[in-house]
């Protein structure tokens, strides 16, 4: 690929400090948008930027796509090694867990690693974060604990709206009824009540109360009267912000004198920043990480946006602290040896680039106007986000005919297929143009019955094609009928794709799961794909000592700079 500029390590004649000099019209245009501290050099199409870790990182991001001719190779290599050098890690905690036996009230059979999960909950006195990877049966392990530990009822389950019915079904399937005199009734199941209204009224006496996060604060008074003994927070990453109403409501309920057991469940307890773990732990084991101020002083630094970021040299110690006292984290590759691999493919397909570039030009014109008129930093940020979302949608439309062909080719071998997309307009078009296969759909806004009917129809093999929204269909469902999953569009967060893949790649899957990421040729899809597979530095290093990247503001701005570059160079 032809170089589009040069990179040189120089001593700036005015500031008398060592800096990076970049030349080339396109390179200067892009770096000027990404590094506010940059200043123009002595010659035309020349820019100087300070030598810092942040600058090296930004230059590296650009060079991954647009190669610069490096004039100071030894200096660049030295800086890259220093910036991306692996950080020392602590050895992982080795769990000393036995295979515990579930109590009489539990109906069903636990796998060996799930018996060890039960043992972990028993040894943690029911105050723990079960952070196993998705698809390992965190719900079943939790129910086995409730059936085994003494005096756990009544149980309050707080969960995302789309998973409430699933909890009701799992309770009916795995929990036997226990009479008032303590006798187990084999043929009957524990009682449960799903709370669906925010209107205050007396609740019936039942074993399980199931409610979604958004409704919880409205029913706080009613729930506080029930003598709740166990609080289970499913997808507990919903509590990662201590300023939300749902966090404050759960915090109050978990602190009631009657509550003895607090269990959090999530395969992805950290979504954006490592400091999000503090509010979760503060509910499950108050005081373990100190106050938020103490936690930040020891583990974090505060960035220029006021966000607490866990220091690189503290991430391993934070992970060990969590594993010692509150968190069980296991990966499928560690405990499900019989589960076959998950294989990912990046498939580059054609796209209507004429349409794509015409729409890009409109997006850029609108963005420049909004940025010029923006009165606050919030207005500017919102404008950026709208532009990014608009680009994602037109990329989806531009490649849609070729996505359709790709899906049809897979369908020809008569295998069940799941297709994930992001935008509702793409979902609608996919459904219309693949009508010959009688697809079923999962999309935001569906009733619980419609959603479950679609899942059941697919799982029974009555329809071989399911089209799902990435955000609507990535939790609380089992799609093991299929071994092919196709991403017609890409989300910004790798966690979202991982959750979607694991609807197929979980207990009960007998085949290798093939995940196809469809990249529109000539669009910026390839950069979004790179975001999903780049090496990370905070989230997964705390959870797993791995390095999958999560999208951040720098990369979002890089994509916008590339939009502008594509329009100019077209």
pLDDT, position 383: 84
Distance, in Å, from the CA atom of 173 to the CA atom of 108, rounded to the nearest integer, reads: 8
User: Tokens 């502008």 identify what position?
Assistant: 564
User: Tokens 């220091």 identify what position?
Assistant: 311
Dihedral of CA 331/214/539/493: which sign?
positive
Most confident by average pLDDT, 64-73, 354-363, 380-389: 354-363
Cα torsion through 328, 332, 338, 339, rounded to 10: 150
Q: 119 CB contacts (<8 Å, ≥6 apart)?
A: 97, 98, 99, 100
| pLDDT tens, residue by residue, 218-251 | 999 999 999 999 999 999 988 988 899 999 999 9
Examine the pLDDT at 360 and tell me if it is beyond 60: yes
pLDDT band at 273 (very low <50, low <70, confident <90, very high): confident
Q: Provide the token pair at 44.
A: 């035309």
Q: For the packed helices 377-398 and 424-433, what is the interaxial angle rounded to 10 degrees?
A: 10
pTM across the whole model: 0.64
Of residues 415 and 65, which shows the higher confidence score? 415
Distance, in Å, from the CA atom of 27 to the CA atom of 45, rounded to the nearest integer, reads: 8
Q: For the packed helices 525-533 and 553-569, what is the interaxial angle rounded to 10 degrees?
A: 150
* CATH code of the domain occupying 112-335: 3.40.50.10810
C-alpha Rg value of the chain to the nearest Å = 26
Mean pLDDT is lowest, of 7-11, 103-107, 272-276, for 272-276
Dihedral of CA 464/470/472/475: which sign?
positive
Distance, in Å, from the CA atom of 71 to the CA atom of 75, rounded to the nearest integer, reads: 9
Taking Cα atoms as reference points, which of 70, 2, 11, 60 lies closest to residue 31?
Answer: 60
Same fold, 112-335 and 342-569: yes
Report the pLDDT averaged over residues 325-350: 81
User: Beta-carbon neighbour count of residue 442 at 10 Å?
Assistant: 25
pLDDT, position 496: 76
Query: Cα 560 vs. chain centroid, distance in angstroms?
Result: 23
User: Beta-carbon neighbour count of residue 26 at 10 Å?
Assistant: 17
pLDDT, position 540: 54
Examine the pLDDT at 545 and tell me if it is beyond 80: no
pLDDT, position 527: 66
Report the pLDDT averaged over residues 101-107: 94
pLDDT, position 536: 36
Taking Cα atoms as reference points, which of 455, 407, 409 lies closest to residue 431?
Answer: 407
| pLDDT tens, residue by residue, 51-78 | 888 888 888 878 877 788 888 888 888 7
DSSP state of 254: H
Cα torsion through 357, 361, 366, 370, rounded to 10: 100
Examine the pLDDT at 552 and tell me if it is beyond 50: no
| pLDDT tens, residue by residue, 176-228 | 998 888 888 988 999 999 999 999 999 999 999 999 999 999 999 999 999 99
- Whether 46 and 22 have beta carbons less than 8 Å apart is answered as yes
For 342-569, which CATH superfamily applies? Answer: P-loop containing nucleotide triphosphate hydrolases (3.40.50.300)
Cα torsion through 154, 157, 162, 168, rounded to 10: -30
Q: In what order do the strands lie in the sheet with 208-212?
A: 192-195, 208-212, 155-159, 230-234, 261-265, 127-130, 327-328
Q: Provide the token pair at 406.
A: 């790709």
- Phi–psi pair at 235, nearest 5 degrees: 50, 55
Q: Burial of 202 by CB count in 10 Å (0-12 exposed, 13-18 middle, 19+ buried)?
A: exposed
| pLDDT tens, residue by residue, 31-40 | 877 777 788 7
pLDDT, position 556: 47
Strands 39-40 and 46-50: antiparallel
- Whether 203 and 209 have beta carbons less than 8 Å apart is answered as yes
Q: Provide the token pair at 424.
A: 């509702």
DSSP state of 229: -
Distance, in Å, from the CA atom of 111 to the CA atom of 508, rounded to the nearest integer, reads: 12
Neighbouring-strand partners of residue 58: none
pLDDT, position 256: 95
Could you state, in order of their start, the residue ranges of all structural domains in the chain?
6-84, 112-335, 342-569
pLDDT band at 529 (very low <50, low <70, confident <90, very high): low
């Amino acid at each position: 690929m032809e170089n589009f500029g040069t990179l040189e390590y120089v001593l700036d004649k005015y500031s008398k400090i060592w800096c990076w000099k970049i030349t080339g019209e396109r390179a200067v245009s892009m770096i000027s948008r990404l590094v506010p501290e940059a200043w123009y050099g002595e010659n035309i199409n020349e820019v100087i930027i300070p030598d810092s870790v942040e600058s090296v990182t930004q230059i590296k991001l650009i060079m991954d796509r647009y190669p610069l001719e490096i004039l100071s190779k030894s200096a660049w290599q030295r800086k890259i090694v220093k910036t991306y050098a692996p950080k020392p890690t602590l050895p992982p905690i080795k769990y000393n867990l036995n295979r515990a036996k579930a109590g009489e009230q539990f109906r069903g059979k636990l796998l060996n690693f799930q018996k060890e999960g039960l043992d972990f909950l028993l040894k943690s006195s029911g105050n723990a974060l079960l952070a196993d990877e998705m698809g390992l049966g965190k719900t079943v392990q939790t129910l086995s604990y409730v059936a085994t530990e003494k005096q756990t009822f009544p149980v309050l389950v707080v969960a995302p709206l789309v998973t409430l019915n699933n909890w009701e079904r799992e309770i009916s399937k795995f929990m036997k009824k226990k009479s008032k005199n303590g006798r187990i009734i084999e043929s009957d199941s524990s009682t449960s009540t799903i709370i669906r209204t925010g209107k205050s009224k007396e609740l019936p006496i039942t074993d399980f109360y199931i409610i979604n996060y958004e409704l919880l604060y409205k029913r706080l008074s009613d729930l506080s009267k029930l003598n709740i003994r166990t609080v289970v927070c499913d997808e507990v990453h919903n509590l990662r912000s201590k300023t939300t109403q749902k966090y404050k409501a759960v915090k109050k309920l978990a602190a009631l004198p009657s509550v003895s057991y607090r269990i959090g469940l999530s395969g992805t307890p950290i979504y954006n920043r490592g400091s999000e773990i503090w509010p979760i732990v503060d509910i499950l084991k108050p005081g373990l990480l100190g106050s938020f101020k103490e936690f930040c002083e020891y583990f974090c630094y505060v960035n220029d946006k006021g966000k607490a970021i866990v220091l690189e040299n503290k991430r391993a110690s934070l992970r060990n602290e969590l594993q010692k006292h509150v968190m069980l984290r296991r990966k499928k590759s560690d405990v499900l040896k019989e589960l076959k691999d998950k294989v990912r493919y990046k498939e580059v397909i054609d796209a209507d680039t004429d349409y794509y570039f015409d729409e890009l030009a409109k997006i850029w014109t609108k963005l420049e106007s909004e940025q010029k008129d923006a009165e606050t930093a919030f207005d500017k940020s919102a404008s950026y986000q709208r532009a990014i979302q608009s680009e994602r949608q037109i990329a989806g439309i531009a490649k849609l005919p070729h996505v359709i062909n790709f899906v049809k080719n897979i369908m020809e071998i008569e295998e069940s297929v799941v297709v994930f997309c992001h935008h509702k307009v793409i979902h609608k078009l996919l459904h219309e143009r693949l009508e010959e296969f009688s697809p079923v759909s999962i999309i935001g806004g569906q009733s619980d019955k419609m959603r479950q009917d679609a899942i059941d129809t697919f799982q029974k093999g009555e329809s071989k094609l399911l089209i799902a929204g990435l955000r609507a269909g990535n939790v609380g469902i089992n799609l093991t009928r299929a071994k092919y999953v196709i991403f017609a569009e890409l989300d910004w967060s790798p966690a979202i794709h991982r959750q979607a893949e694991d609807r197929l790649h979980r207990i009960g899957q007998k085949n290798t799961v093939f995940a196809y990421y469809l990249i529109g040729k000539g669009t910026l899809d390839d950069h979004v794909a790179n975001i999903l597979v780049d090496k990370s530095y905070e989230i997964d290093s705390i959870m797993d000592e791995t390095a999958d990247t999560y999208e951040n503001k720098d990369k979002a701005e890089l994509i916008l700079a590339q939009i502008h570059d594509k329009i100019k160079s077209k």
